[in-house]
A = this chain, B = another copy of it.
Amino acid sequence: MTNTFTEKYTIPYYDCDAEGLLKVPTLIKMMIRTSGNQSDSLGVNAELLKSFNINWIITEHDLTIHSLPMSGDSVFVTTQAESYNKYFCYRKFWIHDSHRNELAVMESTFALMDNTTRKVHAVPDEVIVPFESEKTKRIKRGEKIPTLQSESINRSFDVSFWDIDDNHHVNNATYPAWMMDSMSYDFLISHVPSRVMIKFNKEIRYGEAVDSYIEEMDDNKTIHQIKSGADVCADGLIEWKKR
């Protein structure tokens, strides 16, 4: 039986947007934090990863948001390492309010990066066995993100020192922050995402120039691409609803 791991957390006002709702990039970071804390609790910590010269990276998120918590709300964040194969670990996350109503759920794909070659490293038994998750030969393929047709840049970003995490590259939660930030203020102040799908193709490091491309589809959907020069670093699909 696969372990689950739950933490209670109270939302600081500074993790909320101008209208007092939790920032979506922070929601993702809160979820990921819980997986880090579960790993630490099982001894799958920084020292163990260092002994293999590897670190966790994320290749895919599929986040569904029913309702965003507000500043001051206490929530329960739960994670579970569902299954894994030679190269990929599949994880689920949930956020519940204090009445145990589900607010958001995310399915994510993790892999391990060799810190020197920056390439994916096979999952060592020592790193995955403690989670008691199911070993499978199946490779999960998330829902396809439609190909972006547009050739016009919506907005450009300079990588900030604050975007760099302990992998010394841009943190996974910065990509949805850039994608959302490429929409207009009037749109963002009146809409929130109900679903965010992201596929990460290439890491971005400090000093790279980042361009954000958008295409609006019907049904309140936007497709996104984050590029560094000619390289597609991430593809995204966001479904929106009125606040």
Q: Which A residues contact B (CB, under 8 angstroms)?
A: 12-14, 16-20, 23, 25-26, 29-30, 32-33, 36, 40, 72, 155, 158, 160-162, 164-166, 168, 171, 173, 177, 180-181, 183, 185, 188, 206-207
Contact = CB atoms under 8 A, between A and B. Distances in A.
Which residue of A36, A161, A171 has the most chain B CB atoms within 10 A of its CB atom?
Answer: A161
A161 B180 contact: yes
Contacts of A162: 17, 23, 25, 177, 181
How many identical chains are in the complex?
2
A173 B13 CA distance: 13
Contact of A13 (B17, B18, B36, B188): B36
Contact of A161 (B13, B16, B168, B185): B185
Given A181-B161, A207-B185, A166 B12 contact: no
A25 B14 CA distance: 11
* A-side interface mostly: mixed
A171 B14 contact: yes
Contacts of A164: 17-18, 185
Contacts of A33: 12-14
B20 A166 contact: yes
A93 to B, nearest CB: 14
Contacts of A13: 33, 36, 166
A30 B12 contact: yes
Nearest to A205: B185
B181 A160 contact: yes
Nearest to A18: B164
Contacts of A160: 177, 181
A183 B161 CA distance: 9
Contacts of A14: 26, 29-30, 32-33, 165, 171, 173
A234 B85 CA distance: 53
Given A160-B181, A164-B185, 8 more contacts: A13-B36, A14-B26, A14-B30, A14-B171, A14-B173, A19-B166, A40-B72, A161-B188
A36 B72 CA distance: 10
A12 B31 CA distance: 11
A33 B188 CA distance: 24
List of 9 A-B pairs having minimum Cβ-Cβ separation, nearest first: A14-B29, A18-B164, A185-B206, A161-B188, A161-B181, A12-B33, A160-B181, A18-B168, A13-B36
